Chains A and B, each alone.
Chain A
Amino acid sequence: MSGAAQETAPAGAPAAAAGRQGSVFTQGRLLLGLGLAMLAAMLVVTILAPLIAPYSPSATSPDSLAPASAGHLLGTDSIGRDVLSRLIVGGRTTLLITVTAVLIALVAGLILGLAAGYLGGLVDEIIMRALDVIFAFPVLLLAIAVVAALGPTVPNLILTIAIVYTPAMARVVRAPVLSVKQWDHVEAARSIGMSEMRLVLRHILPIVVSPILVATSLTLSQTIFTVTALSFLGLGPPPPDPNWGGMLSEARQFMELAPLTVIGPAAAIVFATLTFIIIANGLREVLDVGSVR
């Protein structure tokens, strides 16, 4: 994410230069910094999960539904497993599904959106109308239908989420392409005699990358919700491997006896969602999306 932001730095140069004249800490940069720090923290915990987690996520103990203590910082669940360990390890599954699915949706959206926007005409009609069919269903409803049909495994969940979010990504890509392809420098590139592929990748894509970055980040936050919602509804990765949505679902019936079993995963979901929203807002400010040069 930070690499991509740096890559566009020359482009955002006017905006960045304006910011530099005032304060280094513009609101957008602060937001982006905060978001990236939260993301980094989340990634470190997720990647190092087995090392950090105090217990095995599936190890039971006779001490079930225990309150917070020095031994179990967030208590234990109904069959005595450590909630904190399950949260840390469960984040792996949830984030893996989320990030992979959004990346697939991004690539598919880029290909379809660039093709539809650049080629226009019949190709545009076919691609966009086909995507409209997917777009017409409520996200969760469609996801439930697809997972129910394919079966709740991790690859199927990834595929499902990718399918559900591809239309939105394609639209975000297509819209600016429609206008940028008519810009003078694109016509200049065409008159030089370069191939269409080079034209699209070098003269159109870099110009439309900012709104795509923002949309990707926002989609990540929505996807966290969708993934956990599916798991909550019992369509997530099968037990015993923990994941945030599944943990919420299991803990719901003991909510009054052991509130931490619910608060823990809920807080994790909020934290992850907020991280991507903050990054999206920071990117929007820093990249100056929505204003034409």
Chain B
Amino acid sequence: MSAPEMLRPPQDVPQPVLQVRDLSVLFPARRGGVAVRAVERLSFDIAPGQTLGLVGQSGSGKTTAGRAILQLQKADGGSVRLLGRELTTMRAGELRRMRRHMQFVQQNPYSSLHPRLTIGQVLSEPLQVHRAVPANRMRERVAELLELVNLDPAMMRRYPHEFSGGQRQRVVIARALAVNPDFLVCDEPVSALDVRTQAQIVALLQSLQERLKLSYLFIAHDLAIVREMAHRVAVMFRGRIVEMGTADQVYESPGHPYTRLLLDAVPVPDPALQRERLRRAPPDMRFLEGDGGGCIFGLDHAGAGTAEWHELAEGHGVSCRYWPQKAASAPGHI
């Protein structure tokens, strides 16, 4: 399947750090059930030093997409290229070496650290695995990593349970940064934390991105934080990207009805505005049913071999699936 041209970010970038094309994940049927298409034909690029925000409700396939990109979940189709190298067909040993370029920041800092290893051991592990630092420089590098995430290097002799959620998440970030990766998947990195700590971690991730020229795939359900973090935003629904564009494009002029629904679900701190919004007619929810139907613009994508994708503006596109029936003629055909 050829890569749809309109999915490229509009900036004139040399080469994307990460290139995902038609990535699909299928969870096989349980006894008596049907197979679940957790991720369906995901395609996007992430440029160096940029963040792609991936938003969507629970169960929309965000986390599965992140895990499939990191090859922690077997993909059923499509391609993932990191620094120009295909990951989905890579042999196990080579993939393990490739992992130093892509790292993972998990959601829950209470469970993502080995409870029986000290912070120092946790942080030296990736360095040992990738032989990134000689043994005699290990302590020095661990201390450096702790300072990088604004923690006291004396912490390295203590155990994870002695620290707060925010401190632990800093350790998790430091572990991810230990081997100087180019790309991080941050899977809901702040949703297990309290609001004040959330802001600190977001600020930390931003400053690290600036200093180390990192690229992020930032998965979250909190739209405000994604707007704060992301250069580009992709909205996922039922395993598909239904809208993607720059953060401004998606937030200011959402094209897909599902994106509007998501944005409308965020409470507005102005009571008058919120009351006014609640008085409006509820959106037609029928588009949530079924398999998304055919192309609302009446195109035969399967026959023509094109992507189910329609560009609204430069770098801003929507899927033609999951639209309310009546809206079939809503946005102008492009």
Contact = CB atoms under 8 A, between A and B. Distances in A.
Chains A and B are bound partners:
yes
Nearest to B92: A196
A184 B130 contact: no
B159 A194 contact: no
A192 B104 CA distance: 8
A207 B99 CA distance: 25
What is the predominant secondary structure among interface residues of chain A facing chain B? helix
Contacts of A10: 116, 159
Given A194-B125, A194-B129, A189 B159 contact: no
B72 interface: yes
Contacts of A183: 111
Nearest to A17: B161
Contact of A14 (B99, B114, B161): B161
B10 to A, nearest CB: 31
Nearest to B116: A11
B115 interface: yes
A185 B121 CA distance: 13
B166 to A, nearest CB: 17
A78 B126 CA distance: 69
Interface in B78-129: 95-100, 103-104, 106-108, 111-116, 125-126, 129
B106 A198 contact: no
B96 A195 contact: yes
B126 A184 contact: no
A194 B161 contact: no
Most central of B97, B116, B161 by chain A CB within 10 Å: B116
Contacts of B126: 192-193
B42 interface: no
Nearest to B130: A193
B172 interface: yes
Contacts of A189: 114, 125
B103 A293 contact: no
B233 interface: no
A191 interface: yes
A193 B102 CA distance: 10
A207 B115 contact: yes
Interface in A189-209: 189-195, 198, 202-203, 206-207
Contacts of A193: 95-100, 126, 129-130
B190 to A, nearest CB: 16
B106 A13 contact: no
A188 B112 contact: yes
Interface in B163-182: 172, 175, 179
B268 to A, nearest CB: 35
A27 B107 CA distance: 38
Interface string A163-190: 0000000000000000000011101111
Nearest to A183: B111
B129 A207 contact: no
Contact of B116 (A187, A194, A206): A206
Contacts of B115: 11, 185, 207, 293
Interface in B53-83: 70, 72
B175 A192 contact: yes
Interface residues of B, number: 28
Contacts of A11: 115-116
Contacts of B72: 187, 190-191
B27 to A, nearest CB: 15
Contact of B112 (A13, A184, A198): A184
Contacts of B116: 8, 10-11, 206-207
A192 B125 contact: yes
B159 A188 contact: no
B111 A198 contact: no
A11 B172 CA distance: 19
B233 to A, nearest CB: 24
Contacts of B175: 188, 192
B64 to A, nearest CB: 13
Nearest to B106: A184
Contacts of A187: 72, 104, 106, 112
A192 B129 contact: yes
A198 B129 contact: yes
A14 B159 CA distance: 11
B114 A185 contact: yes
Nearest to B100: A193
A10 to B, nearest CB: 6
Contacts of B111: 183-185
Contacts of B103: 191-192
Contacts of B108: 184
Contacts of B114: 185, 189, 202-203
Given A185-B113, A206-B116, A207-B115, A191 B159 contact: no
A188 B106 contact: yes
Interface of A: 8, 10-11, 13-14, 183-185, 187-195, 198, 202-203, 206-207, 293
Given A185-B111, A187-B106, A192-B129, 20 more contacts: A10-B159, A13-B161, A14-B161, A184-B111, A184-B112, A187-B72, A187-B104, A188-B104, A189-B114, A191-B99, A192-B125, A192-B179, A193-B95, A193-B96, A193-B97, A193-B99, A193-B130, A194-B125, A194-B129, A207-B115
21 contacts: A11-B116, A187-B72, A187-B106, A188-B104, A188-B113, A188-B172, A189-B125, A190-B72, A191-B70, A192-B99, A193-B97, A193-B99, A193-B100, A193-B129, A194-B96, A195-B96, A195-B129, A198-B129, A202-B114, A203-B114, A206-B116
Interface of B: 70, 72, 95-100, 103-104, 106-108, 111-116, 125-126, 129-130, 159, 161, 172, 175, 179
Q: Which 6 A-B pairs have the closest CB atoms?
A: A193-B99, A191-B104, A184-B112, A184-B111, A193-B96, A11-B116
